[in-house]
Amino acid sequence: MGNDSAKKTIVVAFLLCVVCSVLVSAAAVMLRPLQDTNKSLDIKKNLLLSAGVITNPKATAAEVNEAFQSVETKLVDLSTGEDVTGIDIDSFDVKKAAKDPKFMESIPANKDIARIRNKSKFAKIYLIKKDGQIDQIVLPFYGKGLWSTMYGFLSLATDTKTVKGIGYYDHGETPGLGGEVDNPRWKSLWAGKQPVNDNFEPILKVIKGNVDTSSPEASHQIDGLSGATMTSKGVQAMINYWLSEQGYGPFLARFRSRGV
């Protein structure tokens, strides 16, 4: 076959494609465990940042793992609030479970205020301990903003009604508008707020403008994100959803009545 023959060009191009695809596939397979480790580390870091256990967003893997020693992870059945047994908690992926017929549950449209359609029947909750005692309960949550599904953590005190911290670790809202959910100043407004009433029913309002601190409702309200009313409404809806009977309500009731 001469160098100018069409056949040789096709054979060389074909072989090049095969070699490249093998290399790319091998790299993808070999890097997978590293990617999984980094993903899990990132989630741990965001959880600890949301709860204020660590404050440095650039904390090293060693610092994150060290701080995570104080965290106990539980897998709970959302409908009863009871522990799920017989499933490996570390490998259980709640995001995947929300799409798996074995674990998913459709949310009736009239209850789906977070606009997520389906959820996993089982969810992870995190108990942060201080001096051997539970100090914070961290609840993962998600729901629709304007452009994207937003994923975050809400940390509550052990009275199950007072916020200790909040943080989003994945969203696609516009930087400077809905993306201001990442703004430390806005996040700091949450500490001490009570998104539920005395009967533990969710009543959070993310209002347009600033909260009137003299209002009796102020403890249930958060300043809206300016120029981002739609994202703000999404935040309000998702927090209220996950604190309701549909979300962590049964677990929080169990925690209040008899701990964990």
Per CB under 6 A, residues contacting ligand FMN are 146-147, 173-174, 177-178, 227-231
Residue 44's contacts (CB-CB under 8 Å, 6 or more residues apart) are 64, 65, 68, 71
Closer CB to ligand FMN, 89 or 177, in the complex: 177
Closer CB to ligand FMN, 8 or 208, in the complex: 208
Strand ranges in 2-113 using DSSP code E only, listed in sequence order: 71-77, 104-106
Q: Is 36 helix (H, G, I), strand (E, B) or coil?
A: helix
Taking the complex as a whole, the smallest distance from the CB of residue 228 to ligand FMN amounts, in Å, to 3
Taking the complex as a whole, the smallest distance from the CB of residue 148 to ligand FMN amounts, in Å, to 8
SS (H, E, C) 114-139: CCCCEEECEEEEEEEEECCEEEEEEE
Closer CB to ligand FMN, 108 or 175, in the complex: 175
Closer CB to ligand FMN, 143 or 249, in the complex: 143
Taking the complex as a whole, the smallest distance from the CB of residue 131 to ligand FMN amounts, in Å, to 41
DSSP 225: P
230's tokens: 């739609």
Closer CB to ligand FMN, 158 or 229, in the complex: 229
Q: Which residue is nearest to ligand FMN (CB)?
A: 178
Taking the complex as a whole, the smallest distance from the CB of residue 113 to ligand FMN amounts, in Å, to 16
- Between CA 119 and CA 35 the distance in angstroms is 25
Angle between helices 61-68 and 6-51 (to 10 degrees): 50
Taking the complex as a whole, the smallest distance from the CB of residue 90 to ligand FMN amounts, in Å, to 34
- Between CA 260 and CA 255 the distance in angstroms is 6
Taking the complex as a whole, the smallest distance from the CB of residue 169 to ligand FMN amounts, in Å, to 17
Give me the long-range contacts of 61-65 (CB less than 8 A, separation at least 24): 65/41
> Contact 243/252 with Cβ under 8 angstroms?
yes
Closer CB to ligand FMN, 146 or 156, in the complex: 146
Closer CB to ligand FMN, 140 or 224, in the complex: 224
Taking the complex as a whole, the smallest distance from the CB of residue 227 to ligand FMN amounts, in Å, to 5
